[in-house]
Structure 1
Amino acid sequence: MIIAIHQPNYIPWCGYFHKMLSCDLFVILDDVTFSKTAITNKNQIKSPDGSRLLSVPLSNKEGLIKDVTIFNDGKWPNKHWGSLQRNYARAPFWKQYQHLFAPIFENPDETLADFNLRLIDVIRTILEIKTPIIRSSEILGTTGLKGDKIISICKTLQAAVYLSGTGAKSYNDESEFARNQIRLVYQEFDPPCYPQLWGDFIPNLSVIDLLFNCGPKSKDFLPKQVIDL
């Protein structure tokens, strides 16, 4: 079995869903410490003036990701949804998909992880990704921190292959994966270039930029990585 693991990020980029498509089980890493410098609560969309950062305000930034709470003052969801409307209302597939996202912004969850996972579920449905998802907090018996935590999850779920992002090359202990008989494979993903609104192409935005611009053809820009077992 091929397993990939990732934190529950806010409206993630295309590579997040390419990784999800390319594995047999996708683990949402929600029982690790929330990092204030991570992008778990923020991402970028495109506007006429270039990229625009959307950041979900938090009332509690301490502890595990699953326990981080959103500052629900009633204002930020309208601001985020307003930004999406203003910048994508002219996109070819805004009308086709906007009704799937609107209820989530109209009724945001208390915790960031729950809110993000509702959005992730809508996105993967549009992309027709059938890969099962499980939260790491639901997996009993895992131990350790950082790399040890990843290996513990893989062993508990009896993974033959761990599909890792390339950013982890600097800290993955390849000898530990080998010692535990887990094959370490790195994601091979080139950010796609696709039709966009507002001038020159900007890569690595939230995947919703791809969805609103390309609709059902979006999945064609995320070819599955074939990994031999």
Structure 2
Amino acid sequence: MGERVLVAHQPAYWPWCGYFSRLLDVDELVLLDHVQFSERGWQHRNTVADRYGRPVRLTVPVRRDFGQRLTEVRIAEPDFRERHWRTLSETYRRAPHFNRFADRLQELYAQSWTHLVDLNEAVTRLILDALDLKVTLVRTSGAPPSGTKTAALVDLCRRHQADVLRVGTGAGAYLDAGLLERAGIRIEVAAYAPTPYGRARSRPAGLSVLDLLMHEGPRARAVLMAGARTAPFTSTPREVHA
């Protein structure tokens, strides 16, 4: 029996390609919705590109409350749904695969969302389905892990019977590798090397995976696979090669 890999990430709004590239070979994503909301992060915003390749920022307006947990964050303006649907329609109506996803996107924005995390989970499920990834989503707010930072990750690994913790390239700044090693958990670093796609073959960096889906449709998963990289964690950051 092979090793079980844990991927835990904060729920985000239309996440970028690297978010999903680390899910290509796992069957579960742990959504860290018990953590504190970060106004400067990607929990309520992301970027797409218009038909000229110019970045377009989408931001969900939320009610500010200092120190609130992500699961508590409420959406401030319900009419953002019309704005975002209109922006996506205008941005991608000429993209090769817009019609493939238009009905699902319109249905998503027709719903009345009150909490950010519920919207983000629905967005994530839509993308996983579009990529044909059979990944179960589990929220931590129902049973938050014990401890903080690395100790919380150790607890999550034990709960989910994981031997490997898969993290992003910035993990060296916050992980206590020794604590994970003593717990018998191996650390794996996932990186994503963007692969050219679409007719222009040149897109702005860090776009939402939605841009990839609109331009590549069923081929989007293969593009993610081509750019996905993993390597053992080292205390000294290094490039991750194929």
TM-score (norm 2): 0.86
Gaps of 5+ in 2: 233-242
Gaps of 5+ in 1: none
1:157-188 Cα shifts (integer Å, max 9, x gaps): 22100000112222111111101111111003
The equivalent position to 1:174 in structure 2, one of 172, 177, 182, is 177
Q: Give the structure 1 partner of residue 240 of structure 2.
A: none
User: CA contact under 8 A between 2:193 and 2:229: conserved in structure 1?
Assistant: no
Q: Give the structure 2 partner of residue 8 of structure 1.
A: 11
> Counterparts of 1:210 and 1:168 in 2: how far apart (Å)?
26
The equivalent position to 2:35 in structure 1, one of 21, 24, 32, is 32
Q: Give the structure 2 partner of residue 42 of structure 1.
A: 45
Is residue 65 of structure 1 aligned with residue 67 of structure 2?
A: no
> Counterparts of 2:76 and 2:69 in 1: how far apart (Å)?
16
SS at structure 2 position matched to 1:109? coil
The equivalent position to 1:150 in structure 2, one of 153, 173, 191, is 153
C-alpha displacement of 1:26: 1.1
C-alpha displacement of 1:107: 1.4
Deviates more, 1:4-13 or 1:218-227: 218-227
> Counterparts of 1:220 and 1:4 in 2: how far apart (Å)?
20
1:93-132 alignment runs, 5 A limit: 93-132=97-136
SS at structure 1 position matched to 2:63? strand
CA RMSD of aligned residues (A): 2.0
> Which letter maps to 1:59?
R
SS at structure 2 position matched to 1:119? helix
SS at structure 1 position matched to 2:138? strand
> Counterparts of 2:135 and 2:174 in 1: how far apart (Å)?
27
Percent of aligned positions with the same letter in both sequences?
29
Deviates more, 1:199-208 or 1:92-101: 199-208
> Which letter maps to 1:166?
T
C-alpha displacement of 1:226: 7.5
Q: Give the structure 1 partner of residue 208 of structure 2.
A: 206
TM-score (norm 1): 0.91
User: CA contact under 8 A between 2:149 and 2:175: conserved in structure 1?
Assistant: no
Task: Return closer, same or farther for 1:88/1:216 CA change in 2, 3 Å cut-off.
Answer: same
> Which letter maps to 1:218?
A
User: CA contact under 8 A between 2:16 and 2:206: conserved in structure 1?
Assistant: yes
Task: Return closer, same or farther for 1:226/1:58 CA change in 2, 3 Å cut-off.
Answer: closer
